[in-house]
Amino acid sequence: MGWGDLGAFGEPSRETPNLDRMAAEGMLFLDFYTANPLCSPSRAALLTGRLPVRNGFYTTNGHARNAYTPQDIVGGIPDSELLLPELLKKAGYTNKIIGKWHLGHRPQFHPLKHGFDEWFGSPNCHFGPYDNRERPNIPVYRDWEMIGRYYEDFKIDLKTGEANLTQLYLQEALDFISKQQASQQPFFLYWAIDATHAPVYASKQFLGTSQRGLYGDAVREIDDSVGKILNHLQQLGISENTFVFFTSDNGAALISAPRQGGSNGPFLCGKQTTFEGGMREPAIAWWPGHIPAGGVSHQLGNVMDLFSTSLSLAGLQPPSDRQIDGIDLLPVILQGKLIDRPIFYYRGNELMAVRAGLYKAHYWTWSNSWEEHSKGVDFCPGQSVAGVTTHTQEEHTYLPLLFHLGRDPGEKYPLSFASEEYQRAVEHISGLLQQHKASLVPGQPQLNVCDQAVMNWSPPGCEKLGKCLKAPESDPKKCSWPH
C-alpha cells in the first residue's frame, strides 16, 4: 500500500471511511517510513527494530539490490535476532501473527520458534498457482502445521481477483481478541494482511465496489476490516487499553498499475526504489483516551519504531547488547514531541539516501537497469526526472543530490551545489552518515543463496493432508536479484 492510498492522505475517491475515522480519532503520521522499499526486509526490521543490513535481511550478491524471501530462499531470520514477540512474552503477552510472515519458511525460521504463540497465514507471498512439480503452491499454516495450500485449499481467482482471505484473517483477529479479552491476558496481534500485494484480491462482497478497480476493492475490504477490529475492541471495552497502529511495508507497486497498483500520492516512483514513493507510508496510531483525537505529526517515523514503542508500552527495555534503530514514539504520540532522528534509505547493502529534517540527500540514485526498463519493468511509470530516476547506478557520494522535501516533495529539483543551503544541509547529513557507517556492523546476509530443494515441498502437517511433495536434489545457487 502507498502513502496516497487512504482518504486521510488525499486519495481522490475517498473510500476508506474506517481508516479515516481511525486517523480522526487518533494521530496521523505524514512523514513515516518503512525500513526498506521491499516487503521481507521491512517486516524483519519491524519485528527486530533493526535495519535489514543489521538483521541480515539483505544480499551481497550485487550492489544495491532488492532481495526478499521467495520460496527457494535458503536464509531467514537468524536465531541471534530478538523479535518483538520474544520480548513481549517476558511481560506475559500472548502473541499472534495473522497473514504473511515472510521472514523465512524453513523449519528454523518458523514464527512460533521466534516468539509467536499462534499463527494463521503463510510463510511467503501468495504467488501462483504453481504445478507442484517445478514449484509447490505456498502453504497456509495454522500454528505449527500446514493446513492447506493457496489455489488448492485457499482459492484465489486470478481472473476475477476473488479470494476470501481477508475475511479469514479478519475472523481470526476478532476471535483472538475475544479470547484474550475473555481470559484477561495481554496480547500482541501482528495482523499482516496482504490483499493489496499482487496478485491483488478481494472477497466477492467487495469486488466491483470501488471506483479504483480491483486494487480499490482490496483497499476497501482492508478498511472495512480495520473498522470491524476497532469496533470489536470498543465493544469489548478494551479500546482504551489497546494500542493500534496501521502502516505498510513498502510504497505502492506502481509496476502493477493500473489494475493492481496503488498510489503514492504526490511522491516520486514506487516500491523497489528509495525515492519517497518507495518508502514513505501511510501511518495511523489509535488509542482512545490516550492519544488526542485528530492529531497530525511530522515526526520522522519508521516501522522499526513500532518495536521500541511496543516494548515501551509493555514496560520493557529494548535489548542493550545490540544496536536498535527504532525509537520510542510514545513522547510523540502522547505529548506531541518531535524527536530529531534521521531516516536511512537502504537498497540491499547500500545506503542510498539519508533524510534529516526536511532535507534528503541521495548518495546513490537508481530506479532500475536500462535492460529491465526496456522490457517494460518500470518503477516510475509516467515519471522521469533527469539525473534522479537514473537507469544506471549513479554514485553521488562526493556530491550528493540534495532535495528539500517541503518545497519539493516530488524530488524533482536538486538544490544547487553552490548554494549555502546545500553546503549547510549536506555537511549535517554527511556527518550523520559517517557516524552511522562508522558504527555499522552488518549482519550475515541471509538473502544470498537460493535452492529449489528448500521450497515448500513438504511442510509439517503435509502427511495428514496427503500433500507432501518430493523435493528435488539440493542445488544451492546465488540468488538472482535483478534490481
Rule CB under 8 A: which residues touch a second copy? 4, 9-14, 30-31, 210-213, 215-216, 257-259, 263, 265-266, 268, 296, 298, 358, 381-385, 404, 406-410, 412-413
We find the least distance from the C-beta atom of residue 10 to a second copy, in angstroms, to be 2
Burial code of 350-372, b = ≥16 C-beta within 10 A, e = fewer? bbbbbbbebbbbbbbbbbbeeee
Q: Which is nearer to a second copy, 236 or 257 (CB)?
A: 257
Does the annotation flag 95 for ligand binding?
no
Task: Please report how many Cα atoms fall inside a 13 Å half-sphere around the Cα of residue 334, on the Cβ side.
Answer: 11
Residue with Cβ nearer a second copy (13 or 234): 13
Judged by beta carbon, residue 61 or residue 263, the one nearer a second copy is 263
- Alpha-carbon distance of 367 to 384, in angstroms, equals 10
d(CA 114, CA 98): 15
Nearest to 7 by CA among 172, 232, 291, 212: 212
**Residue bearing cell 541471534:** 80
- Rounded CA separation 221/210 (Å): 10
| Residue among 219, 122, 128 nearest 168 (CA) | 122
Q: Which is nearer to a second copy, 73 or 380 (CB)?
A: 380
The per-residue DSSP string of 46-84 comes to: HHHSS-HHHHT-S--SSTT------TTB-----TTSPPH
Give the C-alpha separation, 1 to 270, whole Å.
10
Please tell me whether residue 97 adopts helix, strand or coil conformation.
Answer: strand
Q: How far is residue 380's CA from residue 254's CA, in Å, rounded to a whole number? A: 7
Q: Determine whether the annotation assigns residue 462 to a binding site.
A: no
Are the C-beta atoms of residues 138 and 154 closer than 8 Å to each other? Answer: no
Q: Nearer to a second copy by C-beta: 98 or 284?
A: 284
By annotation, the residues acting in catalysis are 39, 102
What's the closest the beta carbon of residue 383 comes to a second copy, in angstroms?
6
Neighbour count for residue 432 (Cβ, 10 Å): 16
Number of Cβ within 10 Å of residue 31's Cβ equals: 19
Q: Please, which residue, 288 or 381, has the CB nearer to a second copy?
A: 381
**Is 249 one of the annotated binding-site residues?**
yes
Task: Tell me if the bond preceding 52 is cis, omega within 30° of 0.
Answer: no
Please say whether the beta carbons of 140 and 162 come within 8 A.
no
* CB of residue 209 to a second copy, shortest distance in Å: 11
CB of 277 to a second copy, least distance (A): 11
**Minimum distance from CB of 127 to a second copy (Å)?**
23
Q: Which lies closer to a second copy via its Cβ, residue 387 or residue 431?
A: 387
Point out which residues pair with 162 in neighbouring strands.
Answer: 202
CB nearer to a second copy: pick between 123 and 261: 261
Residue 6: HSE in the Cβ half-sphere, 13 Å Cα cutoff = 28
**Residue 51 CB, nearest approach to a second copy (Å):** 24
Q: What is d(CA 160, CA 173) in angstroms, rounded to the nearest whole number? A: 26
Q: How many CB atoms lie within 10 A of CB 152?
A: 18
Choose between 258 and 482: whose C-beta lies nearer to a second copy.
Answer: 258
The distance of closest approach from Cβ of residue 385 to a second copy in the complex, given in angstroms and rounded to an integer, is: 5
The x, y and z cell numbers of residue 39, run together, are 516487503
Residue in 73, 71, 79 with CA at minimum distance from that of residue 59: 73
Is 345 in contact with 34 (CB distance < 8 Å)? no
**Nearest approach, Cβ of residue 215 and a second copy (Å):** 8
Nine-digit cell string for 198: 499482487
Q: Which amino acid is at 299?
A: Q
The dihedral through the CA atoms of 365, 370, 372, 378 has a sign that is positive
Least distance (Å) from a second copy to the CB of residue 242? 26
Owner of C-alpha cell 478494551: 238
Grid cell 469486488 in the structure block, residue: 207
Q: Which residues carry a binding-site annotation?
A: 39, 249-250
Q: Which residues carry a binding-site annotation for Ca(2+)?
A: 39, 249-250
